[in-house]
Amino acid sequence: MSQANRIKIAKRIGQEIADGQIVNLGVGIPTLIPDYLGGKKLYLQSENGLLGMGPTPAEDEIDMDLISASKQPITAEIGASIFDSTESFVMIRGGHIDVAVLGALQIDQTGEIANWAVPGKTILGVGGAMDLVVGAKKIIVATTHCAKDGSLKLLKKLTYPTSGKRKVDMVVTEHAVFTFANERMKLIELNSELTLEELKAITEADYEIALQTENMKYPINILK
């Protein structure tokens, strides 16, 4: 997937995050979000023990003693707080995270996700994924629409181990935005040049079409 598409996803999710919120960012595409928040004043939390994460540092300002849970170099905002991972997971499990932005291997049509293990491959560990799925008030998934091998990610039913029975609220890909409510999936935005038919061809999951044309980058596609 091109870096431009990864940035497009990060920018779109940045629109969903509000001033004053406490936000946890997962591995992969979510790590790009701090650079695309448009000056919003909020609190980015990393489960390795930081509240107040700032944008990506310039190359000559990287300090590898200051990294995120994704092991990426970060900056700390003025007033940031550093603490141990035990306190960090108390925040997560105690329901103090307003929004968690996670990557995913698969998402089913009810909003259940799998993001920690591929059957038959080495498992490095669950990390904070299961805790965030349970503890965050809102869950947004940032993901490519298909896997690198072309396999579909948005499915009728998961085939990989679940990250928890809690359902996600939104999925943002390079092509579309979906929301979930009462275990029903809705397409609300089409953000690439794909037609509705082309999008459906790469989306196994069943979904309703409830396009909000004022938010769509390519609204003409609903007429194709």
pLDDT in tens, 1-55: 789 999 999 999 999 999 999 999 988 899 899 999 988 999 999 988 999 999 8
Distances (CA, A) of 96 to 43, 107, 129: 11, 24, 15
pLDDT in tens, 188-213: 999 999 999 999 999 999 999 999 76
Q: Tokens 């039913």, residue?
A: 157
Say how far apart CA 173 and CA 154 lie, in whole Å.
10
> Which of 116, 135, 118 lies closest to 126 in space, CA to CA?
116
Q: What percent of the chain has pLDDT over 90?
A: 79
Question: Known catalytic residues?
Answer: 47
3-state secondary structure of 107: strand
Say how far apart CA 39 and CA 168 lie, in whole Å.
26
* Domains in the chain with CATH codes: 3-223 (3.40.1080.10)
Which residues lie below 8 Å from residue 208, measured CB to CB, with a gap of 6+? Answer: 184, 185, 186, 187
Here the tokens at position 92 are 């997560």
The overall average pLDDT reported for the chain is: 91
Here the tokens at position 13 are 């999710």
Helices (H), the chain: 3-14, 85-93, 129-135, 196-201
Evaluate whether 91 touches 48 at the Cβ level (below 8 Å): no
pLDDT in tens, 100-129: 999 999 999 999 999 998 888 887 677 788
Distances (CA, A) of 188 to 5, 171, 178: 19, 10, 6
